[in-house]
Amino acid sequence: MNKRPIGIFDSGVGGLTVFREIRKQFPKEDIVYFGDTARVPYGPKSYTTVSAYSIQNARFLLQRGAKIIVIACNTSSSVALKQLQDSLPVPVIGVIEPGAKTAVSTTRNGKIGIIGTEGTIRSKAYSREISNLKKDCRVFSQACPLLVPLAEEGWEDHPVTTLTIKEYLKPLLEEEIDTLILGCTHYPILKEAIQKVVGDNIVLVDSAEAVSKQLYEILPDKENEGIGEDHFFVSDNEDKFRQIASRILNIKISKLIKVNLGESWYLS
């Protein structure tokens, strides 16, 4: 069990922020990361499609020997987590529950904001989880689809990014939230820009950090030895993945393989 890798999948490169935090927490573990770059983004797609893609991704990680699977995609977590937990022979964790728990324990006035993709916001998964944890919390949600391409473009400090964040967050700030969940794994890339817009009185909840803490409760890093190996897989556009990954992780990606998780593979 200890020698098998941690498996992480995402719709693309955003889940690398989750990978980054898990690698910090588990330096001795092998990690396999799959980014579904051929079919990104998941946010605007139907629940049926996202669920099918998530099953394919998880099965691929099982083929690679994963002992635990982390869904580093908020959209997949909101749509397919329960299905994967019920059907797979290994533990599966998503990013919704850890982020919601952190937000509930952080808020002072009970007003929590959520930003995410269209799919994540439409699912109301964060709202339900927060309500289950603390019913008197008020939740305000905002889909922010333009933030993903801005993050991937590397425009963290660009004036266009600042203006876009201000426009998206205006309704949430008017509600006087004191806690904001970054409900997309791309958004930690823009964390500093978002914090500048909302001010120091609003706490940002990074779901990547939250899921890493939850993983440690399930998988204490005590018995492995040496330095863990990283293996990266994508379904398309290896060069762009390398470029963005090098910026997010500050390392050169050497072990990167393109795979095809098409319909025929899924049905087999």
Active site residues: 73, 184
Task: Give the separation between CA 162 and CA 82, rounded to whole angstroms.
Answer: 36
Q: Which residues contact 214 (CB under 8 A, 6 or more apart)?
A: 93, 97, 98
> What CA–CA distance (Å, rounded) separates 139 from 126?
9
Q: What are phi and psi of 121, to 5 degrees?
A: -65, -40
Strand partners, 140: 113
At 262, the amino acid letter reads: G
Residues shown for the chain: 268
CB atoms within 10 A of CB 254: 9
- Give start and end residues of each alpha helix (H) in the chain: 16-25, 47-63, 74-87, 96-106, 118-123, 125-133, 147-153, 159-174, 191-198, 207-218, 238-249, 263-267
Both structure tokens of 6:
């941690």
